[in-house]
Structure 1
Amino acid sequence: MLLNIMLLFCKLDHQCICKCVNRMKKSKWIIDSAHSSVQFRITYLVIASIRGSFNTFNGFAEWGEHFKEASIQFNIDANSINTNVEERDKHLKSADFFDTAQYPTISFKSTSFKKIKGEKFRLEGHLTMHGHTKLVELQVEYNGKIIDPQGQEKISFEVTGKVSRWEFDMKYNSVLEANSLLIDEDIDISIQLLLNKEQ
């Protein structure tokens, strides 16, 4: 009788340990760059705006159950900037802006990922751009999870936020009438992410 009770406790302990391990185990998700996008917008001449994108990027995310201890790493090829105007893209790659010859990569590494409400989260991390690293805060909205026809598990997020280019020493500008600026300080960021669960 005593032996049976001891065996039962051992079995229960084993089940509890397995459940705890499963909860702690992180899953890894790879960014599907073919079905994701990195876009930006900046105000120009006070009344207009310029939109563009970065076409080459990669990264991955890891998290436990319910996005606990979530982390993300992201790399962008600065030379892949595209505003649909070749001369402007050349200027953006020059030393006036991104200086891609010296700083070819823009990178982000998260430091925290916290739930705000419902499907909305706050993402903080270190953004490295133009030779400078700054702590930035971004907003994240969870769009859902699905399994595609090939059986691949996928998950989607939208990431938005503002970044001051001046903080990254990209201060090229001209002063217009009434002391307004040719190009605004803040860059609006909009990132659509689709990630594949690592097999």
Structure 2
Amino acid sequence: MATTKWTVDPMHSEVQFKVKHLMITTVTGYFQRFQVEAETPDEQFTNASSVRFSADVHSITTNNVQRDTHLKSADFFDAENHGEVTFVGSKYEHVGGDNYQLHGDLTIKGVTKPVTVQVEFGGIVVDPYGQTKAGFTVSGKISRKDFGLTWNAVTEAGSVVVSDEIKLHAEIQLVKQN
């Protein structure tokens, strides 16, 4: 049986990250340009055989130009030398109901580490234009320092400016390719 290929619908998908600032509030950032490709052995997502994600670091936005420029600098993502964040899935595992875990390798700033994210499968529908679509909510946490994003500063009171823990969240809609 041939595999079914799926690609992201960028108009109905988003990829964001959240980080504590001054340990009292959360700043949200987005990748405005990203790709997701998946292959399944059939038209269902009970056993995805391949999942690949990439995001353009130059497309980061936090709705603050100065902060975005700093995030793209060598202090953080070093977009000039590492313009892409990638995730290559190695195992898609059912954990009950509509919930799955996706295991794979995340690469940020040239550092690759194994990561597991939680996936809630929203289902498959045919849209009004005849396209078959699958929906997912993806969430997880990583340590930014594990990936070489170690910049920080300390306030007068001794608090860190940026937390180590980064929360990941994505709403992904994939389109079946004919």
State the TM-score, normalizing by the size of structure 2. Answer: 0.94
Question: What letter is aligned with 2:31?
Answer: F
Aligned to 1:148: 127
Unaligned runs of 5+ in 2: none
Aligned to 2:111: 132
In the TM superposition, residue 182 of structure 1 has moved relative to its aligned partner by: 1.1
Distance 1:113 1:34 in 2: 25
In the TM superposition, residue 194 of structure 1 has moved relative to its aligned partner by: 0.4
Match of 1:64 among 19, 37, 41: 41
RMSD over aligned Cα atoms:
1.3
Aligned to 2:62: 83
Aligned to 1:40: 17
Aligned to 1:173: 152
In the TM superposition, residue 175 of structure 1 has moved relative to its aligned partner by: 2.5
Aligned to 1:190: 169
Between structures 1 and 2, the one with greater helix share: 1
For 1:103-118, list aligned pairs within 5 A.
103-118=82-97
Distance 1:164 1:197 in 2: 33
Match of 2:31 among 36, 49, 54: 54
Are 2:4 and 1:27 aligned? yes
Larger-Rg structure? 1
SS at match of 2:163: coil
- Worse overlay, 188-197 or 173-182: 173-182
Alignment coverage as a number of residue pairs: 176
In the TM superposition, residue 72 of structure 1 has moved relative to its aligned partner by: 0.4
In the TM superposition, residue 52 of structure 1 has moved relative to its aligned partner by: 1.1
SS at match of 1:43: strand
Distance 1:185 1:143 in 2: 30
After superposition, what is the alpha-carbon deviation per residue over 1:48-72, rounded to whole angstroms, capped at 9, x for unaligned? 1111100001121111245224320
Question: What letter is aligned with 2:41?
Answer: G
Q: Kindly indicate whether structure 1 or structure 2 has the higher relative contact order, using CA contacts under 8 Å at least 6 residues apart.
A: 2
Q: What percent identity do the matched residue pairs reach?
A: 38
Match of 2:101 among 114, 118, 122: 122
SS at match of 1:172: coil
Distance 2:78 2:143 in 1: 17
In the TM superposition, residue 128 of structure 1 has moved relative to its aligned partner by: 0.8
**Matched-pair contact (CA < 8 Å) for 2:154–2:161:** yes
Between structures 1 and 2, the one with greater strand share: 2
